[in-house]
Amino acid sequence: MQNVDLIIVGAGPVGLYAAFYAGMRGLSVAMIESAEVAGGQPQNLYPEKLIYDVAGLPVISGINLTQNLLEQVARVPHELFLGESVQKIEKVTDGFFVSTDKEKRSAKAVLLTTGAGLLTPRKLGLEHEEQFAKSGKISYFIRSLEEFRGKRVAVLGGGDSALDWSLMLENIAEKVHLIHRRTAFRAHEITVEQVSESSVEIYVPYTLSALTETGLLLTKVKSDEKVNLSVDKILVNYGFVTNHIDLIDEIELSRNGRVKTNREQQSNIEGLYAAGDASDYIGKVPLMSVGFGEAVTAINAMTKVLTLDHAIRKGHSSSLF
């Protein structure tokens, strides 16, 4: 069993930045990440998408943001355990025990940067789906846009992700078909407008009836009209199911299963903090710039109450390195 001041659960963008900031303030810190690679959503769900709203970075891809964050955290001592899922956290007198599928560790404080928790893509629930997914015909997120070059692609879903991907694929794929079961999309007005002006072919309101040898069989809602769509690839954007967060007894969650936090990012359990998409409060905006700020708030708050064997470094970053 190892002892550190702070265990950070989840090495997405907010966890990585939190580890850097905690290290900079002189805390000993360990990060535990269930995936085999750090970086969370930008790394895994949209590595090539461009991000424009992180302060000081006019434009950056998901994958390069992860690289920058890894470079930043490398400046401070820290441990990063990849491929370990945190399964249970127990509150004890002077801190916490954190158990994963491989190890049990202890810490004075815990910061949850688990995003939405362990995510699994929502499936279609149709025959042959697993086979199609194994062969690469069905994807639930895009690792590389190149896989779609010159292909006929069906994008399923009606939210921001489905519409964003349709637009990004427009110039890469031979043809993009967007299929949604309702007439109206649940995406930003501007994106909906861009899609309607693009070459993306829209099928609304259609449901998916079967996966066929050549692609998809669609049925128009409240009608017998069928469409046989020949495609090479199917991109499913039906969202993700989360396992959040029965990680610790008596934790208070918000209605969408995130951790309720106060103004110092502390949960209802003393010493257990949350930041980034894992945290929720009135007025929460689930963006990375907000999550980075929440991590700073949480770490400054915990340094005031933790009993540490060593001095906490104070001051601005420029005076600390």
Query: Binding site annotation covers 318?
Result: yes
Query: Binding site annotation covers 201?
Result: no
What number of other Cβ atoms are within 10 A of residue 226's Cβ?
Answer: 12
d(CA 127, CA 213): 12
Asked if 21 is part of the footprint of ligand FAD (rule: CB under 6 A), the reply reads no
What number of other Cβ atoms are within 10 A of residue 47's Cβ?
Answer: 20
Stretch that binds ligand FAD, among 129-137, 207-215, 253-261, 275-283 (CB under 6 A): 275-283
Q: Which of 4, 6, 8, 9 binds ligand FAD (CB under 6 A)?
A: 9
Q: Which of 29, 32, 153, 200 binds ligand FAD (CB under 6 A)?
A: 32
Nearer to ligand FAD, 80 or 229 (CB): 80
Asked if 51 is part of the footprint of ligand FAD (rule: CB under 6 A), the reply reads yes
Stretch that binds ligand FAD, among 33-41, 91-99, 124-132, 261-269 (CB under 6 A): 33-41
Please work out the total of residues on this chain that contact ligand FAD, with binding judged by CB under 6 A. Answer: 36
**Which residue, chain included where needed, has tokens 């970053």?**
317
Q: Which of 7, 8, 30, 86 binds ligand FAD (CB under 6 A)?
A: 86
Nearer to ligand FAD, 117 or 157 (CB): 117
x/- map, 180-219, ligand FAD, by CB under 6 A: ----------------------------------------
Q: Are 151 and 173 in contact (CB under 8 A)?
A: yes
Query: At its nearest, how many Å lie between ligand FAD and the CB of residue 252?
Result: 18
Asked if 118 is part of the footprint of ligand FAD (rule: CB under 6 A), the reply reads yes
Per-residue buried b or exposed e for 159-185, using 16+ beta carbons within 10 Å of the residue's own CB: bebbbbbbbbbbeebebbbbbbbeeeb
d(CA 319, CA 309): 22
Query: At its nearest, how many Å lie between ligand FAD and the CB of residue 179?
Result: 18
- In single-letter form, the type of residue at position 232 comes to D
Task: Note the residues at the interface with ligand FAD (CB under 6 A).
Answer: 9-15, 32-35, 40-42, 45-46, 49, 51, 53, 85-86, 113-118, 161, 276-278, 286-289, 291
